[in-house]
Each structure stands twice: as structure tokens, then as C-alpha cells.
Amino acid sequence: MTVSKAVEELPPESPPRDAAAAAAAAADDDDKKGEIQKFPGVVRARIILFQKEIDAKLAKKAPPPPPPPPESARRVVVYLTSLRGIRQTYEDCCATASILRSYGVRVDERDLSLHAGYKDELRAALGDGAGVPGQGRPLPQVFVDGCHVGGAEDVRRMHESGELTGTLLKACDTAAAAVAAVGKGGRQLAPPSEPCGGCGGVRFVPCDACSGSCKVFVADDEDGGAFRRCPECNENGLVRCPVC
């Protein structure tokens, strides 16, 4: 086959389209592209609306938040332990309490090893049955103005980043202000830098009724009397310090 014959067998060139028809076709293509872009936007908006409705229903079914610890307004409440059975836990409790006291705010240290009632407070405040050694989050656990902040690592992280300063100074009274306010009510507290003269800062003292034995003798005319459980103290024969 020669070159000239191959050229002759080529199909004829398509005639040029009219300019108006070309413009109409281009406009039609643009409309289709706009519809394609608009359609995903409508779907996305409907998905967002549907998700909001689901979130609202879940929020109504969610249980109410747990109550704050008792007497926790405008202060820091630290649930800790003074037992040294687990060294890491004891060191975390000491370090956390030391960090919080360094800010000069009102710190309420609640030792679970001295009073079992603090365990119930912590369970209720966490709302998940945790907070007791061996049953969930380890000690210490910190609350600021009734809001749960976290444990030792959370306090250490906030302290190093400077976040703890604003949180404590905004939500808590200073220790000096708390001492002055209580002093006006007729009770004299020790300055923030000094331990309490009644309990040495432990916040508990031996019970006067049973001398710490948890038993008192109750006289009875029929059998001469018997020893009963002391109603004044806790399981360790301790009562709250009347001074602080």
C-alpha cells in the first residue's frame, strides 16, 4: 500500500461545530457540574442534622453527673492515704499534696486510711465505683471546687505546664482567707504555714468517750450492763478534730 492510497482511505474530517451549539453544550456541562457539587453539600448537611438529633437523644438518656464531694466548694479536696504499704501510691499522695499546698489555697486532705467514710464519698464523687485501692483509679484523687481534676499524673502535668495556677486561684479561696473567715465565727485556726494545735494536721483525734477503743460500757438494770459499740467515733476510734 502506497502512502497516497492510505491518505485517500482516511475518514473525512468532522465538520466544525456551530459556535452557538458549542456554547450551549459548555453551559450544560457547567450546570451538571454545579448540580454534582451541590448534591454532596445537601447530603453532608442532612448527615450533620441527623447526628445532632442522635446526640440530643443520647444526652437525655445519659445518667446525671455524680455529685461533688461534701463540703468541697471553693477549696481543693484531695483523697489520699498515709499508709506506706504501696510505696508508689504513698509517694504520689505526698507529692500531690505538697504541690497543691505550695499554691497557698485551701486544701482539704481526706485520708482514707483514717476514715472509711471517705471511701464512700470518693465512690459517689467519681460515679463509677472507682477510687478505692484495687477497684479502679489509684490514689490520690483531686477535686477543685467540686470538679474532678484527676490523679497524681494530672496534677503534675498541670503544675509543670502552668495550667494549675489559673485553675486553683480562680476556683479556690486562699488558705489565709479561709482562716480569717472561720476566725470571725468564733473559732481560731492555726495559720496556713503551721499545723493545727489540736491534731497536728492529721484532722482526727482519739475519741474522748471510748479513748479510742470503739467500745463503751452501757449500764443495764437487768444484767448489770455490757460493752457496746461507741456511737461517737469511726472504725479506728477517731473523731474529727474539734479545732480544725
CATH number at residue 145: 3.40.30.10
User: Could you list the pLDDT tens digit for every one of the 244 residues in the chain?
Assistant: 565 555 555 555 554 555 555 556 665 665 555 555 555 667 788 888 888 888 888 877 777 788 999 999 999 999 999 999 999 999 999 999 999 999 999 999 999 999 999 999 999 999 865 545 445 789 999 999 999 999 999 999 999 999 999 999 999 988 766 555 555 544 455 555 577 888 888 889 999 999 999 999 988 877 778 899 999 999 999 999 988 7
Beta-carbon contacts of residue 139 (< 8 Å; ≥ 6 apart): 79, 80, 81, 89, 92, 93, 112, 131, 133, 151
> Would 2 be classed as within a structural domain?
no
> Would 157 be classed as within a structural domain?
yes
Structural domain of residue 211, as residue ranges? 204-240
Q: What's the structural domain count of the chain? A: 2
Beta-carbon contacts of residue 178 (< 8 Å; ≥ 6 apart): 75, 106, 189
Q: Distances in Å between the alpha carbon of 40 and those of 44, 47, 75, 142, 198?
A: 6, 10, 52, 47, 72
| 168 shares a domain with 231 | no
Residue closest to 151 by CA, chosen among 140, 159, 165? 140
> Would 233 be classed as within a structural domain?
yes
Q: Which three cell numbers stand for residue 126?
A: 467519681
